Chains A and B, each alone.
Chain A
Amino acid sequence: MSSPLHIKVALIGNPNAGKSTLFNALTGLNQKTGNYTGVTVDRYEGSMSFEANNTLIKCNIIDLPGVYSLFPKSQDEEIACKTLLHPDEAIDVVVIVADSTNLRRNMLLVSQVLDLKMKAVVALSMSDEAAAQKINIDVKGFSESLGVPVVPVDSRHHTGMHALQQAIASATVTKAVFHDLGDANIRQFADYRAFVKAALTKPNAKAENRDKLYRHQVINYVLNKHLQLPAELSRKQITATIDSVTTHRIWGYVVLLAVLFFVFQFIFMVSEAPMNFIESAFLSLGETIQASLPKGPLSELVVNGILPGISGVLMFIPQIAFLFLFIGFLEDSGYMARASFIMDRMLRPFGLNGRSVIPLISGTACAVPSIMATRSISNVRERMITIFILPLISCSARLPVYTLLLSVMYPPQHVFGFFNARGIALFVLYLLGFVVSLATAWVLKKTVKAKENSFFVMELPVYRWPQGRSIGIMVVNKVKVFVKEAGVIILAISIVLWFLSTHGASEKYEALVMQEQTLTAQVAPDSLIQQVVAQQLEHSYIGTLGHVIEPAIRPLGFDWKIGVALLTSFAAREVFVGTMSTIYRSGDTESEEGIRQTIVSEKDEYGRPRYTAAVCWSLLLFYAFALQCMSTVAVVKRETKSWKWVIAQFVFMGALAYFSAFIAFGVLS
């Protein structure tokens, strides 16, 4: 056998044509997700090798974003066209994926790509469905008319993969021409490729439309020879029946609500077990390492700095995996388009999209996976607005903070009429998150200029059973991207935060560390040690910072101790509870009641209770609005590919938090 041959293959096709499923079937987990420079579109590449004509062929495959034609209307489409044509990409063979069950529409793109005079293969996807619907394609004659190999494939059952590989190896450039040879607009260019390239930089709507209309005539001529459709499509009837429920004015929302409830339950409840497992596994790993490493800065760094950082990154995996499992199921089954269809009218006034509904609901569990889930919103502006407002929705990490502060303010038996005061306040906080996020979206809609036309023209694809394997691969890719790209930022920030809270500049800090060691050696009472630990925190860098920001947060009713808690909360909002416990030497970090007692009995310099209703509400509002979450910051950076959005979001939410806390404190005290 001769030496292996390396070739680069591009997959191109209409949205919903089964392109990504084919990509997953060909490459399996041999994939990597990267970035196209300068845009927020993900780049999927994978590899496969096979044997043809006694030669080992190694293929590098790139899965281009879905396009309807070579004249792009959105950022995704533009990237697909540019990548296909770019000389640096050096595409050897292009595989055009066309949906067998909707061939007529898919042929526009097929004919355009064939006119680029690249080596090409046409893959007729979903051939099993076409057969079941009695759609008859004369593959041999079709292939002769197109002048390139045509291969029916069925990614679900893995049929046609071998034939497709062989066709890739023997791909040819067609001799047929599908554009109008007499068209003056095209004739002023050397060839059709040059015409398309020119249209990429300077669109010419009239010429493009003429080209497309001419093609439809040619396509009709070709398909009349090779395509036989049944009188009535059975598949469409099933879809229409399901739609009469899923888009019904009452049942449609009942179904959507049930779906959202189910998704919410999974992210919130079912993720909890694996998250707890990750947490405890890392705690015991830390103990093991602590026992085996010599005591010192290295062991401290590993056990208290790096390990919690890694565990903090991995903790998100269950939520991300569950959310994308559902999204994959909802998208691939065709239901997502219906959810979007019935929600569009309600969300549009806020500059959001029907597809924003899943991220908005999952945002009440956690902003991180929800921000990743905004990928399916194809309109760039609507996607950015959704990302921007998501962290304002009260997530589960705020719950421990809310619970603690509400329990400080209202005793359990405290009621307004029939209702428990804590319950009402909690509801108000959640409602506030939604109202403020929608109001922000509305303001953004009025102020942020649109770069592209916002057409809502969307396909309502026929319902299909999703393919588990393909969804599985997508979930793995999402998790990998999160760990690789956002994980690094999260780890770095958590190490910095750890360093700042366990190191200090002053001699006092060193002395306190010595004192703690002596006390521990003497087996002194816990309360004494905790007192020293609390003093250490005060004299650490972060404690010093707490003192520095005190003048700024005094108008909110906060002192330096709360300042320290605000700073450490940047690791994750729930850290607030732990920091409060350390700083107030409650020691009893296990029981919330212990911390509550300490906080309730805390007095200010005049001997009055420190945590009045004014201070508590001020803090609650601050936590409701401030972007105190490094993981959200990391994932927004990854999804928007720019620090500009991150900074704007951080500053905006910070200002909102500051002023609402300021007003709450002023009004209540």
Chain B
Amino acid sequence: MLGLNNLEIGQKAVIKFFKNEGLEARLIEMGCLPGEEVVLSRTAPLGCPYAIQVAGSELSLRREEAASVMVELVA
């Protein structure tokens, strides 16, 4: 289990749980929920924010926000 921010670009993972309750509420509304597959598509030029693909859309998160999303790598 690792934070979403630790993924390599292009790596695929499954969302396990969220460490930040407020952020969890927002992400679930945007289709980003436990069990969903997520891909880190790219980071902004200065290393932050992160762009992820999840549930058919692309979202952008700041580093500390990404770090609060716990994922497990897809083997």
Determine the chain A residues whose CB is within 8 A of the CB of B25 once the complex forms: 71, 73, 205, 208-209, 212
Q: How far is the CA of A205 from the CA of B26 in the complex (A)?
A: 11
Q: Which of B1-37 contact A (CB under 8 A)?
A: 21-31, 33-34
Residues of chain B contacted by A340 (CB below 8 angstroms): 60
Q: Does A111 contact B (CB under 8 A)?
A: no
- Some 15 contacts from A to B, beta carbons below 8 A apart, are A73-B29, A102-B56, A104-B56, A108-B29, A212-B25, A216-B33, A337-B60, A341-B51, A345-B46, A346-B46, A455-B65, A456-B49, A459-B57, A459-B58, A460-B60
Among candidates A209, A337, A457, A461, residue contacting B65 with C-beta atoms closer than 8 Å: A457
Residue A247 is within 8 A (CB to CB) of chain B in the complex: yes
Sort A-B residue pairs by CB-CB distance and give the 6 closest, nearest first.
A249-B45, A68-B29, A105-B31, A345-B46, A460-B58, A69-B29
A105 and B55: CB pair below 8 A? yes
Contact A205 B61, beta carbon cutoff 8 Å:
no
Query: CA A249 – CA B51 in complex, angstroms?
Result: 14
Residues of B within 8 A of A102 (CB): 56-57
| Complex: chain A residue closest to B47, CB-CB | A345
Residue A240 lies at the interface, judged by CB distance under 8 Å to chain B: yes
Whether A457 lies near B60 (C-beta < 8 A) is: yes
Evaluate contact between B57 and A105: CB separation under 8 angstroms.
Answer: yes
Complex contact B65–A456 (CB within 8 A): yes
Interface band, chain B? 20 to 34
- How far apart sit A105 and B41, CA to CA, in the bound complex (Å)? 19
Does A592 sit within 8 A of B, measured CB to CB?
Answer: no
Q: Which residues of A contact B22 (CB under 8 A)?
A: 73, 205, 453, 455
A348 CA / B60 CA spacing, docked (Å): 15
> In the complex, are the beta carbons of A247 and B59 less than 8 A apart?
no
- Chain B residues near A71 (CB-CB < 8 A): 25, 29
B-side contacts of A73, CB under 8 Å:
22, 25-26, 29
Give the residue name and chain of the B residue nearest to A107 (CB): B31
Taking the closest CB of chain B, its distance from the CB of A663, in whole angstroms, is 36
| Complex: chain A residue closest to B58, CB-CB | A460
Q: Does A344 touch B at the CB level, under 8 Å?
A: yes
Q: Which of B21, B27, B42, B55 contacts A104 (CB 8 A)?
A: B55
User: Contacts of A212 on B, CB cut-off 8 Å?
Assistant: 25, 28-29, 33
Known A102-B56, A341-B44; judge A456-B62 contact (CB<8 A).
yes
**Cβ-neighbour of A458 out of B55, B56, B60 (below 8 A):** B60
Q: Which residues of A contact B (CB under 8 A)?
A: 68-69, 71, 73, 102, 104-105, 108, 205, 208-209, 212-213, 216, 233, 239-240, 243, 247-249, 252-253, 337, 340-342, 344-346, 348, 453, 455-461
User: Which residues of A lie under 8 Å from residue B59 when comparing CB positions?
Assistant: 457-460
> For the complex, what is the distance from the CA of A344 to the CA of B62, rounded to whole Å?
9
The answer to whether B42 touches A243, judged by C-beta atoms less than 8 angstroms apart, is yes
In angstroms, Cα B26 to Cα A208, docked, is 11
Contact A68 B48 (CB under 8 A): no
Among A239, A240, A344, A457, find the residue whose CB has the most chain B CB atoms closer than 10 A: A457
Contact: A105 with B44, CB < 8 Å? no
Contact call B62/A247, Cβ cutoff below 8 A: no
Contact B45 A344 (CB under 8 A): no
With a cutoff of 8 Å between Cβ atoms, the chain B residues found around residue A216 in the complex are: 28, 33
Residue pair A247, B42 in contact (C-beta under 8 Å): yes
Are A345 and B51 within 8 A (Cβ)?
no
- A622 CB, min distance to chain B CBs, angstroms: 37
Check B44–A345 contact: CB distance below 8 A. Answer: yes
Looking at chain B's contact residues, the main secondary structure is mixed
Cα distance, A21 to B26, chains bound together (Å) = 25
State whether A345 and B61 are in contact (beta carbons under 8 Å apart), knowing that A102-B56, A209-B24, A457-B30 are contacts in the complex.
no
Contact between B56 and A68 (Cβ–Cβ < 8 Å)? Answer: no
User: Which residue, A68, A205, A208, has most C-beta atoms of chain B within 10 A?
Assistant: A68
Given known contacts A342-B45, A345-B47, A457 and B26 CB-to-CB distance under 8 angstroms: yes
Question: For A337, what are the chain B residues with a Cβ–Cβ distance below 8 Å?
Answer: 60
CB of B57 to closest CB in A, whole Å: 6
How distant is B47 from chain A, measured CB to nearest CB, in Å?
7
B48 and A345 contact, CB distance less than 8 A: yes
Q: Which chain A residues lie closer than 8 Å to B27 at the CB level?
A: 457
Q: How far is the CB of B31 from chain A (nearest CB, A)?
A: 4
Extra pairs beyond A68-B26, A239-B58, A253-B45 (19, CB < 8 Å): A104-B56, A105-B30, A105-B55, A212-B33, A240-B41, A243-B42, A247-B44, A247-B51, A341-B49, A341-B51, A341-B60, A456-B49, A456-B60, A457-B65, A459-B60, A460-B58, A460-B59, A460-B60, A461-B58
The distance in angstroms between the C-alpha atoms of A448 and B10, with both chains bound, is 39
Q: Is the CB of A459 within 8 A of B30?
A: yes
Alpha-carbon distance between A73 and B47 when the two chains are bound, in angstroms: 27
Please determine whether A247 and B26 come into contact, CB atoms closer than 8 angstroms: no
Instruction: Please give the distance in Å from B42's CB to the nearest CB on chain A.
Output: 6
B12 to chain A, nearest CB (A): 15
A457 and B23 contacting across the interface, CB-CB below 8 Å: yes
CB distance from A221 to the nearest CB of B (A): 15
Docked complex Cα distance between A344 and B44 (Å): 9
How far is the CB of A665 from the nearest CB of chain B, in Å?
A: 41
Tell me how far the C-beta of B60 lies from the nearest C-beta in chain A, rounded to whole angstroms.
5
CA of A455 to CA of B44, assembled, Å: 17
**Residues in B whose Cβ lies below 8 Å from that of A205:** 21-22, 24-25
In the complex, the answer to whether A455 meets B23 with C-beta atoms within 8 Å is yes
Complex-state Cα separation, A578 to B49, whole angstroms: 49
- List the B side residues contacting A68 at CB < 8 Å: 26, 29-30
Contact partner of B45 (CB less than 8 A), chosen from A240, A247, A455, A457, is: A247
Q: How far is the CB of B30 from chain A (nearest CB, A)?
A: 6
Q: Are B28 and A213 neighbours in the complex by a CB distance under 8 Å? A: yes
Measured in the bound complex, the distance between the Cα atoms of B30 and A461 in whole Å is 12
Contact with A along B54-73 (1 / 0, CB 8 A): 01111111100100000000
Contacts of A345 in B (CB 8 A): 44-49
Docked CA distance A32–B38 (Å): 42
- When C-beta atoms are compared, the residue in chain B nearest to A345 turns out to be B46
CA distance A240 to B23 in the complex (A): 26
Which of B26, B33, B60, B61 contacts A213 (CB under 8 A)?
Answer: B33
Closest approach, in angstroms, between the C-beta of A376 and any C-beta of chain B?
Answer: 15
A191 to B55 Cα, complex, angstroms: 30
Taken together as a complex, chains A and B put the C-alpha atoms of A345 and B27 apart, in Å, by 21
Give the distance in Å from the alpha carbon of A593 to the alpha carbon of B57 in the complex: 61
Complex Cα gap A118–B72 (Å): 41
Q: How distant is the Cα of A105 from the Cα of B58 in the complex, in angstroms?
A: 12
A-side contacts of B51, CB under 8 Å: 243, 247, 341, 460
Task: Assess whether B61 is in contact with A456, with CB atoms less than 8 Å apart.
Answer: yes
Q: How far is the CA of A345 from the CA of B46 in the complex (A)?
A: 7
Nearest-CB distance from A78 to chain B (Å)? 14
Q: Which of B23, B33, B41, B49 contacts A344 (CB 8 A)?
A: B49
